[in-house]
Structure 1
Amino acid sequence: MSGQLFVQLQGETVKMLALDMNLLSIGRTPDNGLALPHPSVAIRHAEVRRLQDQVIITDLGAGDTFLSGKRLTPHQPQVLDDGAVLQVGPYVITYTLVQHVPASLHSADPLPPESLDDLRFVPLQPPRARYPALPAEGAASSYLSYLPALFTESDFAGRLLQIFENVWEPLQHRQDFVDMYFDPATCPEPFLNWFAEWMGLSVDPHWPESRRRQWLREAINLQRWRGTRYGLMRMLEICCGVTPRVVEDPHRPYHLLFVLPDPAGEQDVTRENIEQVIAQHVPAHVMYEVRYV
């Protein structure tokens, strides 16, 4: 028996989707069966499968998915019952059988007209916490425990070994967690520009650390969408922290209108930054106009 998904955002029904396929992917990018364009939604967030008379949802582990207020365990399928309510980022998704559609989910216009409420500045994430190796403490080095008991009686040996412990332990700490040094989400801040050189990317050194990390994490995927409406919107969200609206006028081919909130008063972004990013990533044959509201 088929069903439908009703997607609501801030109380408004924005999409209605019939589950007439065996597999439905849910994510942020337009190549998903159910695209939810919001920064808090992962590129591949979850998937819905139809198996005989059951509909099953699986969180793919890249973001949080809630079913009836409870967080789903990643990669653990869950059966959706009639009336089940999912939450993916700011979106509330209700699954219901076709013949049992709640009246509250009906909408005369399933795609309500756009307003200026969706234009916003994306808040910066706090800098990543750092956990350096702690220096040796106490009157004697812990290395004494690896020596015969005779040496523990020597105060000089304990103090001498502290010198080597303070030199070697940070190196050992780095080797134990070396994989974290090659991940843009966890590497030390000076490594970010080095990673950008690997991929031939230009990273503005004046960008906040959290934006540089996010840009490097999504850079390869965004190359697939470069020049598209989604790619331009996501690029501005990451590089400038602003969610724009990109308007394509069918009466003016090869022309884009960018509607953005005015960055006046924002500390880390200016109009010049925004227009520089647009100029770098908009297709060469496309004219564009930037309007601040």
Structure 2
Amino acid sequence: MPKKHQDAPAVEPVPLPAVYAHDQVTRAFADGVGAAIGPVGGLLDRLEEVLDPWRAPPAFLDWLVRITGARVETDWDERQRRTAVALAPWLAAHRGRPYALRREAEEIYGWPPERLHISDPGGVYEGNEKPPPGRMLTVTLQVQGRREDFELPLFRLVAAHCPAHLPFKTEVTGGA
């Protein structure tokens, strides 16, 4: 009899009606079905772990990104991607608001909120009213380091949060 691997999942016996309990062919078939669906039962027991962005195996991370609609960039590391998945439900409700932009900037990129300045013209216009010419959202990030390293991430972040009808510009100031 072959030795069972220690990490192999336990095979759950498939219950049979009493009339088939002594039929060796039916019993062998039921044992085969139990062995085939055994790993699924183990996975279902760990479903909460698979759906948690901080405990999910790396192989499930891309799947979590897709099902949550998380915004991720191709150059993000695993921590940033997990953070994006964890933030996705909250951002779905708050995206487009300055505090959501600041929170994503801080949690994903580590940019302190006090270094991110948002000039939001705001306002609601009804009927024939028109917004003033040149109305534009401006987001400025003060950094220490090469400004070029921050320009594209800042642009992408603001583009994800800025309403489609509002033009915007980004600026990176400071630098080494």
Q: Shared fold by TM > 0.5?
A: yes
- Which residue in the other structure is 2:21 paired with? none
- Which residue in the other structure is 1:191 paired with? 60
Q: Distance in 1 between matches of 2:73 and 2:118?
A: 27
- Which residue in the other structure is 1:288 paired with? 169
Q: How many residue pairs were aligned?
A: 131
* Letter aligned with residue 221 of structure 1: W
- Where do 1:1-293 residues align within 5 Å? 157=1, 160-163=2-5, 165-168=6-9, 171=39, 174=43, 176-243=45-112, 244-248=115-119, 253-264=135-146, 270-284=150-164, 285-293=166-174
The answer as to whether partners of 1:263 and 1:271 remain within 8 angstroms in 2 is: no
The answer as to whether partners of 2:154 and 2:170 remain within 8 angstroms in 1 is: no
Q: Distance in 1 between matches of 2:95 and 2:63?
A: 22
- Normalized per residue, the structure richer in helix is 2
TM-score (norm 2): 0.59
Q: CA RMSD in A?
A: 3.2
State the identity as a percent. Answer: 22
* Letter aligned with residue 56 of structure 2: C
Q: Deviations over 1:24-69 (max 9, x none)?
A: xxxxxxxxxxxxxxxxxxxxxxxxxxxxxxxxxxxxxxxxxxxxxx
Seen in structure 2, the aligned counterparts of structure 1 residues 194 and 255 have a Cα distance that, compared at 3 Å, is same
Q: Deviations over 1:158-197 (max 9, x none)?
A: xx3234x44336x586554332111112111221211121
In the alignment, structure 2 segments of 5+ residues that lack a partner are: 11-38, 122-131
Deviation at 1:230, TM superposition (A): 0.6
* Letter aligned with residue 224 of structure 1: A
Deviates more, 1:248-257 or 1:238-247: 248-257
TM-score (norm 1): 0.38
Q: Deviations over 1:203-256 (max 9, x none)?
A: 224312121111111112112221211111112223323224223276975332
The answer as to whether partners of 1:247 and 1:258 remain within 8 angstroms in 2 is: yes
The answer as to whether partners of 2:119 and 2:139 remain within 8 angstroms in 1 is: yes
In the alignment, structure 1 segments of 5+ residues that lack a partner are: 1-156
